[in-house]
Every structure is written in C-alpha cells, then in structure tokens.
Amino acid sequence: MPLALYRKYRPKKLGDLIGQETITQIIKNAAIAGKIGHAYLFYGPRGTGKTTTARLIAKLLNCEKRKNDEKFRSQGEPCNECSHCQEIDSNFSFDVVEIDAASNRGIDEIRNLKENIQTAPAKGDYKIYIIDEVHMLTGPAWNALLKTLEEPPAHAVFVLATTEYEKIPATIASRTQRFIFKKIPKNQIIEKLKGIAATEKINITDEAIELVAASGEGSFRDAESLLDQLSSLGEKITLKTAEQLTGRTGLKKVNELAGLILKKDLGGALNCLSLINEEGHNLTYLTKDLIHYLRKVLSLKTNPSLEKFMSNDLTQDEIEQIKKISAMADMKTITQIIKSLIIAYTEIRYSPFPIVPLEVALTENLKS
C-alpha cells in the first residue's frame, strides 16, 4: 500500500521542518551541546510538526553516527542512515513508544507506563515516550505522570504534545521545556505543495494549489492530505475541481463578494451569493473566509504598515486587491459588516437553511 503524502514527505531532519525555525534551532543547539532535556511539552495547532519534532528528537538521541562521529555530531542532525534512524522513520523502533492519550487516558495506562519505563532500552541508549493529545488525560492520570516526570530514569525522555495548552496542569508544564508551534504561513505551504506535485507528477494549477493550501488553515498535514485526495482523480486538477471537492470558495470569488458588499451593492452581493450556493460551496467556510478577508481589509485600512505581516499569506497582487477594496468603505462600515457576519457564522452552523442568516446579514447592512 502506498504511503500517504503527509507521511512520505514528513521531515527527516530538523532542517526540513518548515515554519518552526526558532524551535528547530534551539533543539539543534541542544543536540550539538549534548543537552537534550528529559521532558518537552509541544503545543500548537494540528499538523504543524509537533509529533514529527518528537520523532526527530528520538533520532537525535539514538543515532549511531552521532554517537560515534564527533564531527558529524556537531551538525546537530540525525544521519537517517543508521538502523536506529531508519526504524524510527518506519515506526518499527521498540525504543520509541507513542501513546494516544485520547484513547489511553486513564490511570491504569499511566501506571503501565511507569512500570515499563524502568525497563532498559531495547537497542539504543534512550527510550522516548511520545504522548499525543496529552490534554485528554484524567486527573488521577496526571498525578501518576507527575511523579514520573519529577524523577525519570536516566534513559527516559518524554515528549508531550497537545493542541490545548490551557488544559495542561501547571505542575506538569513547569517540569518540561515548552515550545509553541505556530500555524504555517500559506505561502510556505504552497511552496511545499508545489514541490510535492512536481515530484509526484500531479497536474494541478496554481490556483488550485492556493485553495488547497488555504484549506489546510496553517496545517501541512491537512493540506498534504487534501492534495493526496485530489491526486487520485487522475486528471488535471483545476480550481473548480478543488472547490467542488473541498466545498471552499477560491480567493477570487471571496474577493468579488467582498467588493460587492463594500460597494453596498445588495442585488449584486445576493446574486453572487446565490451563484456560490448553487455551485455547492460550503457557506460556513465561505462566511469564515469572508470574515478573515474583511479583517485584512480593515487591518490595512487602519494601519498600512501591517502589509509586511500579510506577505506570508498573500501574494503582492492579492494585497494590492485588498488595498483597492479597502478604499470602498469607511472603518465603521467594515467593522459593522464583520460583526454581522460573525453572528451569521454562528447561526449558519446550526441552521437547516444556511444561506438565510447570510442573506439577512447582507440585507441588514446593505439596504439603502
């Protein structure tokens, strides 16, 4: 069975980890100095590299070439050639234990971990315990884990990963090195997707790749999984194809609708909305994308210097288009429209008639 693209193109060294440069540099420096910690807490949105980084730490700790070659060790990277590195990449290493806390969240599972942790590594120098979705652990399980984190065996290293940092007890967090993983900028996702498409010979247009990257919402894994799904069509992937599969609307349509809204062209806006709805696009996603788009319009209108922060998610042409649209309305009008759209977004998610809250929001704001 062929590997999924997100697994096939998972970073194999710290230098391949895109979008988390500060984290990778700190870990690389620690590896060079031989000061990798005994417990880490990685938190941030899904698909941003938390589990991948945990596996890279496992490779750094057990890499045979790093152990025997001092010159290579100064690079702060795994060799990806020794048996330890290859076993970790293939998920066959007995020295790397991955636990899904969402389904193993009770005190019994943590007690088993405490018993097994005393066992020496099967092959390498260290045993690495990666606990994913760690925020799902129960109260008694946290208490059981706390003692282990306080006094771990010399051969044990913990990496806790979570998308919900606020649910981690302070007593646990204080005993770890904490790293926050950021959402990946859209332009960096696009660049990687283009590389994958070229390597895999996937025939896809730039507009479709842009929509796939935007659909990932800062997650490499989500974007790569969607590209994998699209590639199975076996034909040229256009923007229309990507829109039909994802249910999302391309930036061009969002830009058009935003322009009509800010011109206060009620008839044109409702007509545009009806066409988008008839094409089968998900109106929840459309409203969300529209809110984010108008937020960017408001931000640039309020402070033009914010343009430099948008360059990671938007091309220069897209930024120029936002600037053009921002001239169509004043800040008070844009703010009021955004507030109405946020209310409509909440209602759309639970309404049996999703287009109605959006039509009402537009009518209330654009009527003369």
The 10s digit of each residue's pLDDT in 136-187 is 988 888 988 888 888 888 999 999 999 999 999 999 999 999 999 999 988 8
CA 21-50-73 angle, to 5 degrees, is 60
Residues 239/207, Cβ–Cβ less than 8 Å: yes
Q: Which domains does the chain have, with CATH numbers?
A: 5-180 (3.40.50.300), 186-246 (1.10.8.60), 251-366 (1.20.272.10)
For residue 352, pLDDT over 80 is answered with yes
Spatial separation of the C-alpha atoms in residues 331 and 60, rounded to whole Å: 52
The pLDDT of residue 219: 92
Q: Which residues have C-beta within 8 Å of that of residue 135, sequence separation ≥ 6?
A: 101, 162, 163, 164, 165, 167, 168
Could you tell me the pLDDT band of residue 1, with boundaries at 50, 70 and 90? low
Average pLDDT over residues 43-55: 94
The pLDDT of residue 148: 85
Q: What is the pLDDT of residues 203-236, one digit of tens each?
A: 999 999 999 998 888 899 999 999 999 988 878 8
Handedness of CA 130, 133, 137, 142 (dihedral sign): positive
The pLDDT of residue 368: 60
> Do the strands 96-100 and 39-43 form a parallel or antiparallel pair, or are they unpaired?
unpaired
Could you tell me the pLDDT band of residue 102, with boundaries at 50, 70 and 90? confident
- The radius of gyration computed from the CA coordinates of the chain, to the nearest angstrom, equals 24
Could you tell me the pLDDT band of residue 53, with boundaries at 50, 70 and 90? very high
Average pLDDT over residues 44-62: 94
Phi, psi of 325 (to 5 degrees): -70, -35
The residue to which tokens 């193993």 are assigned = 104
Spatial separation of the C-alpha atoms in residues 38 and 226, rounded to whole Å: 36
The pLDDT of residue 176: 95
Q: 85 — alpha (psi -120 to 50), left (phi > 0) or beta?
A: alpha
Predicted TM-score (pTM) of the model is 0.83
Residues 67/74, Cβ–Cβ less than 8 Å: no
Phi, psi of 154 (to 5 degrees): -60, -25
For residue 56, pLDDT over 70 is answered with yes
Could you tell me the pLDDT band of residue 24, with boundaries at 50, 70 and 90? very high
Residues 63/85, Cβ–Cβ less than 8 Å: yes
The pLDDT of residue 106: 77
The pLDDT of residue 317: 79
N- to C-terminal Cα separation, the chain: 60
Percent of the chain topping pLDDT 90: 62
Spatial separation of the C-alpha atoms in residues 218 and 307, rounded to whole Å: 19
Q: What is the pLDDT of residues 305-335, one digit of tens each?
A: 888 888 777 777 788 888 888 888 889 999 9
Instruction: Transcribe 9-60 into DSSP letters.
Output: T--SSGGG-TT-HHHHHHHHHHHHHT---SEEEEESSTTSSHHHHHHHHHHH
Residues 11/56, Cβ–Cβ less than 8 Å: yes
Q: 96 — alpha (psi -120 to 50), left (phi > 0) or beta?
A: beta
Residue type, 16: D
The pLDDT of residue 338: 95
Instruction: Transcribe 51-115 into DSSP letters.
Output: HHHHHHHHHHHH-HHHHH-HHHHTT-S--S-SHHHHHHHTT--TTEEEEETTTS-SHHHHHHHHH
Mean pLDDT of the chain: 90
17 exposure class (CB count in 10 Å sphere: 0-12, 13-18, 19+) = buried
For residue 261, pLDDT over 80 is answered with yes
Could you tell me the pLDDT band of residue 252, with boundaries at 50, 70 and 90? confident
Tokens coding 136? 């799902």
